Amino acid sequence: HQVLRVVPQSDEELQKVQELQDLEHLQLDFWLAPRGLGLPVDIRVPFPSLQAVKVHLEASGVSYSIMIEDVQALLEEEQMEMLHSSRQLPLDTDTFNYEAYHTIDEIYSFIDLLVAENPNLVSKLEIGRSTEDRPLYVLKFSTGGTNRPAIWIDTGIHSREWVTQASGVWFAKKIVQDHANNEGVASILETMDIFLEIVTNPDGFAFTQTKNRMWRKTRSKHSSSICVGVDPNRNWDAGFGEAGASSNPCTETYHGPYPNSEPEVKSIVDFVKSHGNIKAFISIHSYSQLLLYPYGYTDTPAPDQEELHEVSAKAVAALSSLYGTKFKYGSIVTTIYRASGSTVDWTYNQGIKYSFTFELRDTGRYGFLLPAKQIVPTAEETWLALKVIMEHARDNLY
Amino acid sequence: SVAMELPPSHFSAARAAAVAVGYLRYLRGGPGRGLELRELRRARRQDIDDVGHKYYLELELEDVLDKDRTVNCTAEVLYHLGSKTSAPDVQVTVQGELRSTEEAEQEFYNRIRSLEKELVAENIPDSHGNVPPELEPIHLLAWVASGYLIWQNSTENTTFHLAQVKHVKQVKRSDEDLQFDYVLLLHDMVSQEVLPWEVTLLWHPQRGARVSQS
């Protein structure tokens, strides 16, 4: 393998480099994707493809430099795992491996199994389809009633935050178990429904598995920009486009051309509006170990700041009680940064008072690449915090 | 001007702490020692006219290879006014002893020096967070190198963490230093960008680490 660096100086050169991205058989690995003129593009090229790539570039007079002469990779643990653990789809949710990261297919299979095993409690809703036409599935946990007050939880809106989707899978199973054993959230389910969207950004998730583990955004292409993706947590209609998001499509916090331009976002907006009775909305991210409430787009404190702060303190104490994991908490704008167009600012402004965002483990040691053995402890401790919020919502319905 | 108390949960305190930890990793880290922030206990900020913003921090640190122990330290981080090219000034005082790593580091040094083929590796940790045990010292040296980059490139509007070692290649030298050429992915929490940085780290068990400026 070699790593080549190209710095496109003209639109023609940029085009030539982009063409390489579509030649799947070359198995190129873009460490730095094409973003614009004058910006470096780093491509890891497997030995068999070297000739083809160099010819492609040289034929159009695109100059390149060889950044790394010879990449001799140690077989990644992941590749070993993929080979050894025969990647069969799960057979039931009891033997499902909650201590490992899974593919979209495996998670969607898990969802179907959970529904099949618990038809009186769990149903699967398709609330829309992603840019690349993947289904957007929400699990509904309900013991009956009609349009009961509800709790919404989403994981995986930023695709590289893998511990969140993995935790979402664990939450789904936990809800079913609590109900079966008449403990934990069973009491909440007597009067409220729970909605859980596990793979909120399936296109991004697929991309992290196949092409770029660090992909955050959706995979939409709006303008004539060569860059792909919108930050789904800047695309909501709350302070949209103001300070705290980027108007540059090539950046990680690009807000998109207009609010709800992303089907992944619009589908949730439509769902929330038509349901009309959601009382708590929790959006889950990683990493940093924070519990956050609105606002992100303004310094003005949320009218319910005091209550939200108190609930956060309780939730964080519950979380910490299990393994000692320390969380900080506060409003988005004072605790992490100014962020406009974010999910819970919109849901809060819709009247969903108990709107929270979590940033799960860790604080930077592994960051997005949290070891799989931390999935279950993370899900377990987070669940304690979620229960505090859910119970508070149930006991303080409005 | 007087130093104002900051709530430790405020983002500006967290950013200054990340700079202090980066600096400390560069100074005191090694293949046998990875320093991590356990808790930011206290933060104050002072705006100094015509100079910049100075943060006074009380930190509790742990060595990731010895998590039962922690060590306290104080740090001062001065971000220079309006300066995009100047690194923050950092001073750190560690109170107490860091665990000795002489033996482990000497063993690592001997192992690498005796390799016939130069070590090459990529994606540490891998997508699932795995780090093969024999690569853990290389991972910790990447922390040292990233500590330097984080210290040198931080501003009040960035919070850098090492996201992944994309690639590392050992370069055999005629002198006694070990040399590792790294491509490191740094994640900036504020912009959310994950960008590669090339850095060459030299390391010697007695002389410690330094980033090569070539």
Q: Are residues B76 and B14 in the same domain?
A: yes
The total of structural domains in chain B comes to 2
State yes or no: ipTM above 0.90: yes
The average pLDDT across A68-95 equals 59
- Which residues in chain B (9-48) have CB-CB distances under 8 A to chain A? 9-11, 18, 36-37, 39
Q: Are A11 and A62 in contact (CB under 8 A)?
A: no
- pLDDT, greater one: A324 or A66: A324
User: Are B105 and B197 found together in one domain?
Assistant: yes
Q: Which of A234, A219, A379, A253 is nearest to A297 (CA)?
A: A234
The domain in which residue B82 lies consists of 4-95
Q: What CATH number has the domain spanning A2-69?
A: 3.30.70.340
Architecture of domain A92-216+237-396: 3-Layer(aba) Sandwich (3.40)
Of B125, B187, B196, the CB nearest to A31: B196
Window 50-69 of B: residues touching A by CB (8 A cutoff) are 64
As a dihedral over the C-alpha atoms of residue B197, residue B202, residue B204, residue B206, rounded to 10 degrees, the angle is -90
User: pLDDT tens track of chain B, all 214 residues?
Assistant: 789 999 988 999 999 999 999 999 999 999 999 999 999 999 999 999 999 999 999 999 999 988 888 999 999 999 998 766 789 999 999 998 888 899 999 999 999 999 999 999 999 999 999 999 999 999 999 999 999 999 999 999 999 999 999 999 999 999 999 999 999 999 999 999 999 999 999 999 999 999 997 5
The answer to whether B169 touches B143, Cβ cutoff 8 Å, is no
* Residue indicated by tokens 């040094």: B109
The ranges assigned to domains in chain A are 2-69, 92-216+237-396
Last residue of a domain, one of B95, B110, B128: B95
Q: Most A CBs within 10 Å: which of B161, B185, B195, as the mutation test of the A interface?
A: B161
Identity of residue A381: E
Total residue length of chain B: 214
The one-character DSSP state at A374 is G
Instruction: Tell me, yes or no, whether B59 and B87 share the same domain.
Output: yes
CB pair distance less than 8 Å for A71 and B122: yes
Say yes or no for a CB contact (<8 Å) between A3 and B163.
no
* Shortest CA gap B94–chain A (Å): 21
Give the closest residue to A17 by CA, choosing from A71, A69, A63, A67. A63
Query: Is residue A372 less than 8 Å (CB to CB) from chain B?
Result: yes
Same domain (yes/no): B82, B137: no
How many whole angstroms separate alpha carbon B173 and alpha carbon B175? 5
Same domain membership, residue B117 and residue B44: no
> Which chain B residue has the Cα nearest residue A325?
B38
Q: Which residue of A has its CA nearest to B194?
A: A214
Sorting pLDDT into bands at 50, 70 and 90, what band is A38?
A: confident
- CATH for B112: 3.10.450.10
Question: Strands across the sheet with A328-331, in order?
Answer: A122-129, A135-141, A193-197, A150-155, A278-286, A354-360, A290-293, A328-331
Query: Tens digits of per-residue pLDDT, A169-221?
Result: 999 999 999 999 999 999 999 999 999 999 999 999 999 999 999 999 999 99
Where is A280: in which H helix or E strand?
Answer: strand A278-286
Whether residues B140 and B68 fall in one domain:
no
Are the Cβ atoms of B10 and A253 closer than 8 angstroms?
no
What are the pLDDT digits (tens) for B91-124?
999 998 888 899 999 999 999 999 999 999 999 9
Paired tokens of A32? 């730095």
Q: Searching chain A, which residue's CA lies closest to the CA of residue B34?
A: A365
Say yes or no: A78 contacts chain B, CB-CB below 8 A.
yes
